[in-house]
Amino acid sequence: MKPFEFFDHTADIGVHAYGRTLEELFANAARALYEAQGRFATKERAVFKVELEAADTAELLVHWLAELLFLFNARQLYFDHFRLQITDGRKLVAQMDGGPVDFSQSEASEEIKAVTYHQLEVKQVPDGWMATVIFDV
């Protein structure tokens, strides 16, 4: 199973993310968010923790990706390893490995402004989970 694939979307970036579990799906969606923005290296490594809740699984995915986008844009933090626990599809606890972006060793491409609800979908498929997310650029 491939982790994610991008698709054409007028003036935005669309992604289909996949995972055998919800946790793997959310981690792969995070990887897609970062890859859409470029390739990044960190200056130093640390472990960060995030806890989120939402009304349903699709909203939880948007909150998760929006939190990562905020940490990237506001604090210049990039994460490349995720240990996730999702309870009832509505609560997420994440430990993420990463740190401050070393822009001298990184290649930025697109600037993502927001994670949208447009065409948002999270569903079970025969071999796990699939999500569709649109990033506003």
pLDDT per residue, tens digit, the chain (137 aa), is 799 999 988 889 999 999 999 999 999 999 999 999 999 999 899 999 999 999 999 999 999 999 999 999 999 999 999 999 999 999 999 999 999 999 999 999 999 999 999 999 999 999 999 999 999 99
Domain 4-136: homologous superfamily in CATH? Archease domain (3.55.10.10)
Question: In this structure, what is the dihedral angle of CA atoms 125, 130, 134, 137, given to the nearest 10 degrees?
Answer: -150
Contacts of 102 (CB under 8 A, 6+ apart): 40, 41, 42, 43
Residue ranges of the domains in the chain?
4-136
Q: Is 81 helix (H, G, I), strand (E, B) or coil?
A: strand
- The predicted pLDDT at position 89 comes to 95
- The predicted pLDDT at position 1 comes to 79
How far is the C-alpha of 53 from the C-alpha of 32, rounded, in Å?
21
Terminal CA-CA length for the chain = 27
